[in-house]
Amino acid sequence: MTIKPLIILPDPILRQASKPIETVDGEVKKLAADMLETMYDAPGIGLAAIQIGVPRRMLVLDVSKEGDDKTPLVFINPEIVSSSDERSVYEEGCLSIPDYYAEVERPAKIKVRHLDAEGREQMTEADGLLATCLQHEIDHLNGILFIDHISKLKREMVIRKFTKAAKLRGSKAL
Ligand code: NI
């Protein structure tokens, strides 16, 4: 397992739509292991493959409470098949937008069809933090970031801040 560098806003890679995974082979399993390692190291509770620069439809998460046993989950080719009318609000963050948090409203409950880490078809019903986290990560597979769900004013402020920071990093490298 290898910790991979994270792709950070405003890198255009984050806006790419990811492609489905056709077979869950050794390479895909290695990618899942690397993603979990990278997520735990960050630390974060969810990571999509595109956040380490791999445009494939896979995400990993672990929404277990601090102090409880780790519960790593792998979702391959996830597809939301139903969403509740009921909504819930969580303060979200993202490993690709470090140290920025904002409240996002999303459906409170969802049903997701996907493959698991072994390539078996699964249907997962999620609510609470798991539902929010899954929707956030599935958005990544479609090139959508959580800041797309906040006001335009706030979004532009965040993008400006990260664009400036990226330029500073660039000039230091010269
Ligand atoms: Ni994210």
- pTM, to two decimals: 0.95
Note the pLDDT tens digit of each residue in 93-149.
Answer: 999 999 999 999 999 999 999 999 999 999 999 999 999 999 999 999 999 999 999
| C-alpha span between 28 and 134 (Å, rounded) | 19
DSSP 111-126: EEEEE-TTS-EEEEEE
How many domains is the chain partitioned into structurally?
1
Query: Residue 75 is part of which domain span?
Result: 12-172
Please tell me the predicted confidence (pLDDT) of residue 169: 83
| Residue 172 predicted with pLDDT over 70 | no
Tell whether residue 133 is among the known ligand binding residues: no
Q: Quick check: is 2 in a domain?
A: no
Let me know: does 15 contact 51? Beta carbons within 8 Å.
no
| C-alpha span between 141 and 144 (Å, rounded) | 7
Q: Quick check: is 25 in a domain?
A: yes
Q: Quick check: is 58 in a domain?
A: yes
Measured in angstroms, how far is the CA atom of residue 137 from the centroid of ligand 1?
A: 6
Please tell me the predicted confidence (pLDDT) of residue 85: 98
pLDDT band at 170 (very low <50, low <70, confident <90, very high): confident
The bridge status of strand 73-83 relative to strand 58-61 is antiparallel
Q: Using a CB cutoff of 5 Å, list residues around ligand 1, an ion.
A: 94
Q: Quick check: is 3 in a domain?
A: no
Tell whether residue 136 is among the known ligand binding residues: yes
CATH number for the domain harbouring residue 51: 3.90.45.10
Which residue matches tokens 């492609």? 19
Q: Quick check: is 1 in a domain?
A: no
30 — phi, psi (to 5°)?
Answer: -70, -40
Q: Quick check: is 7 in a domain?
A: no
| C-alpha span between 50 and 141 (Å, rounded) | 7
Catalytic residue among 37, 86, 105, 137: 137
Measured in angstroms, how far is the CA atom of residue 145 from the centroid of ligand 1?
A: 7
Note the pLDDT tens digit of each residue in 48-105.
Answer: 999 999 999 999 999 999 889 999 999 999 999 999 999 999 999 999 999 999 999 9
Please tell me the predicted confidence (pLDDT) of residue 74: 98
Q: Is 137 a catalytic residue?
A: yes
Q: Quick check: is 72 in a domain?
A: yes
Q: Quick check: is 4 in a domain?
A: no
Tell whether residue 149 is among the known ligand binding residues: no
